[in-house]
Amino acid sequence: MAPYLQDIALGPALFDGQALVLLNFQRYTGFISSLVSVVNEAQLNIIAYPRVLDAQTPAISFADFLAGGEQTKTLGAYRLYIPADNQFAVNAGKELFYEPTFLTTFAYTVPDINDPSQKSWVVSCNDPVETKETIFTLRVDPNPSGLALSAMSPIMQYTRDPKGCVFAYSWNVFGAFESALLDDGPQLVFGRSSHAMRAAMQGLLDGGYCQVNGRRCNQAIHSA
């Protein structure tokens, strides 16, 4: 993890002595005066904090963090890679938030309010050039046990501006999360893509825990 934070004023947040890498998948729409933008997007992050705020950064357990117990709002998601399938979103991410976005495609089947029969998650992120190869595939079984509601907002986000300084902003998600700590369940499989994101994911996660949208599992990270 150190190479990703060595030249920026952020430190890795530690939970029970372990750092946290966050992978999330999003589907959303953006409403603008002249268009509606539909986007599928994934984000690979390290949970980090500004080193200048070291004195006020809380010592907090992973379970309490997932439950929304981090109220100083110094811990946030530092962006490493953001694949998205909409060029407008890719451009906006770069220009407005200095996000490391790139254009690619996804194949997925996920729960949806309009399809209550779909319970499991399967998300594949494809290589932007070698389109038959994947960067990763994420599988989450339906109805994991131990789910509990939590309120995480506001959620801090960190990126790097063109001068190499920390750029910070926050998300306000108006709704509750469902989180669980699992011994097994989600599976994250690295594909055969030659993209740098796949190599980064494998370097950060191989042999570790899988933590996706508040769900963690042992021994479920492997290569295709």
Choose among 19, 15, 16, 23: nearest CA to 200: 23
Tell me: the pLDDT tens digits for 50-99?
999 999 999 999 889 988 899 999 999 999 999 999 999 999 999 999 99
| CA angle centred on 48, ends 72 and 144, rounded to 5° | 85
Residues sharing a CB contact under 8 Å with residue 10, sequence separation 6 or more, in sequence order: 48, 49, 50, 51, 78, 158, 166
Confidence of residue 208 (pLDDT cuts 50, 70, 90): low
Query: Residue 186's beta-bridge partner residues?
Result: none
| 88-129 confidence digits (pLDDT tens) | 999 999 999 999 999 999 999 998 989 989 989 999 999 999
pLDDT of residue 220 exceeding 70: no
